[in-house]
Structure 1
Amino acid sequence: MNTTTLKGGLILLAVIGALTVFVFTQQLIGKVREQQRQKVELWVKAIKMLVDTENTSEISFLFTEIISVIDFPAILSDSAKTPLTWRNIKIDSTLSREAQIAYLKAHIEEMDAVYKPVEVRLDPSTVQYIHYGDSDLVKALQIAPVLLGAGVGVFILIAYLTFSYIRRTETSNIWVGMAKETAHQLGTPISSLMGWIELLKSASDNPERQAQIIFEMQTDINRLNRVASRFSKIGSKVAVSLECVAEVIEGVFDYYRMRLPQMGKNILLEVNDTTGARVQINRELMEWVFENLTKNGIDAIERKTGEIRANITVDPRYVIIDLSDTGKGIEPQHRAEVFRPGFSTKPRGWGLGLTLARRIVEDYHGGKLLLKESTVGKGTTFRIKLPRHTQQKEASKNKSHSYN
């Protein structure tokens, strides 16, 4: 999942969550308001019963109980809206009676703007009204969506800034890595050519040795051409052909066998294959993958001797290549990050080789590249799974071969 999809998913999830809470809050407010209305109507009935009943002792008790459960502001007034009694309204006791009445009448106007006052008809000529407003709970619930909206807005802003930063960082890592990868790809054959030139100078009286050196120089020049060709393929569709996997890997191993003495190392490079498996691949790009994994293995072997083996097997769907080295291994905390752009444990590493290798295997060939296992002090095994010929044709129809 790319960062754009993840960003959109998180924002969508936040919006859905906010809408869900908003709808639930509105439903809860509706229920609380309905309960308030029912309590007011119960108060009206209690007042009428208190007026109509001669034995008022029990009714007075009931009336008191009803009044006690009213937890929202309410005022009982006469027909002229002069307050008679009230509940849950704080009044400054130091105010005069006239000031208190004026204060309560102002409250009545505010309440009537929200809720229609409930009529209490005591007899044909006597009418009172109950004016009421929202409880503290309703007011808090009304503010909640605003606070939630602000919170969601802040979350979306932080998410946007965070993912934008991550995207910029990844892009920067990729560009820096590409530049360094280019330098690395060009540097290996150029350094080799410089070495061959020095050897050529010292072999001026040995025509046979000169011919061998010239052949190796031509090999490095061909490699430079392949490097240019590889980079030209990035971002474009590539042609594939049926290739023997063992032969491709053996060609990469041959290249490094000739250059290991210059590195001061004696490393066994061996291909184990009893399958003769052939797959549809772009040879130049897959050579790039195997070169990268092989070079990583060589760098991981800190001793002068070691082994790098490519074991090839098949199952009904894939040709499987396990490329193992006897190097220092990868620390457990780093294993999940080896394919992340910019990650490297090398002092001068640029952290793009494995990223490009995985994209070549997965995006261009419909396969898989993964870290199979690694043991500190013993070595590392990377596994490449390439679809067998019939499956790969089908996969190529559904893959977009681009590095966008």
Structure 2
Amino acid sequence: MSFLVEYFWRVLFLFRKELLALVKDPKNRLVLVGPALIQSMLFGYGATYDLNYAPYALLDQSRGEAARELMAHIDGTGVFVRRAELGNSNQIAGLIDAGEVLLVLTIPADFDERLAQGQAAPLQLILDGRNSSTAAAAAAHIGAIVGTFNRALSSAAGAPVTVERRAWFNPNLESRWQLMPAMIAALSMLQTLLIAALSVAREREQGTFDQLLVTPLTPLQILIGKALPAIFVGLVQSTIVFLIIQFWFQVPIAGSVWLLYLGLVAFTTAAVGVGLSLSAVSLNMQQAMLYTFLLIMPLMLLSGLLTPIRNMPEALQIATYLNPLRFGIELVRRVYLEGAGFSQVAVLFVPMLVLSAITLPLSAWLFRHRLA
């Protein structure tokens, strides 16, 4: 019993020493808290796929009543802002090329006549494809408005067929609801990796690495003592992002907070294992930072944060199984948005625990050989 007490006291002392090294400098304290706050706000307000503003130009060759009614529907949304009314098609290229409008809507001269005769009346929609996601959203929005307009025209002939849409887990289909919960895992990963990667490299660069050689600490105790501060910092940053999402952006959590944090502990432990492995093979802090920044971008791209994993090539889909961020994001989204229980997300813990079981012993093995 006394052996276990002494064992954990040694780990606790190393944990305290690592935390003091992180927070004793006011600049470090600012770096630990500031990025999570700033990035949460930037992603919450800046990284959105919602269509809130779409400048457009109109080429109305019809000048009829139906054309005016359709344009009243479009202008009434508050999203589409008419920037120019064109006299001929030669003016379209200049506006699109200069980026002054996102789209140009052309109404043909026989628009009203075709509608009066019960014929199809085509509209031409010219989009600026340089911003493909926004252009696609604008085209879909225009399509929905035209659909509403069509139902209004056909209502006199009988009750039209209508579609009532309901979205589960994100009632208003706001991109913020899809993106921000994933930030709970993603925003903390960079600094978690970096802190873990710098832990041993900092010891070498500051000349205190040799002191570990003469301490009674075992490689496993060193591993635990250096992993716990990084895990703690990662959870603190995830908490900051979680509180901002919950109370500032008011995205309600549907599932259990305790299950969410259980998943974050598993995810952060796997990320710290990767960081400690990088730290053990780095000779100095510059190498550790370089390895971290080389690794973070592939981890982000292969996480499903911005693009669905099922849309990736099969080889890359297989590679995502080595990425703890993939499973961290999926678990957070399912618990936060779907309200999933433990039985529904238990399978997501397995790869994260397997990654921890590989990277943490690998770090201990590297420590043992470095300390030998």
TM range (shorter): under 0.3
Normalised by the size of structure 2, how large is the TM-score?
Answer: 0.23
Highest RCO, 1 vs 2 (Cα 8 Å, sep ≥ 6):
2
Normalised by the size of structure 1, how large is the TM-score?
Answer: 0.21
Answer 1 or 2: which has greater helix percent.
Answer: 2
Which structure is larger by alpha-carbon Rg, 1 or 2? 1
Answer 1 or 2: which has greater strand percent.
Answer: 1
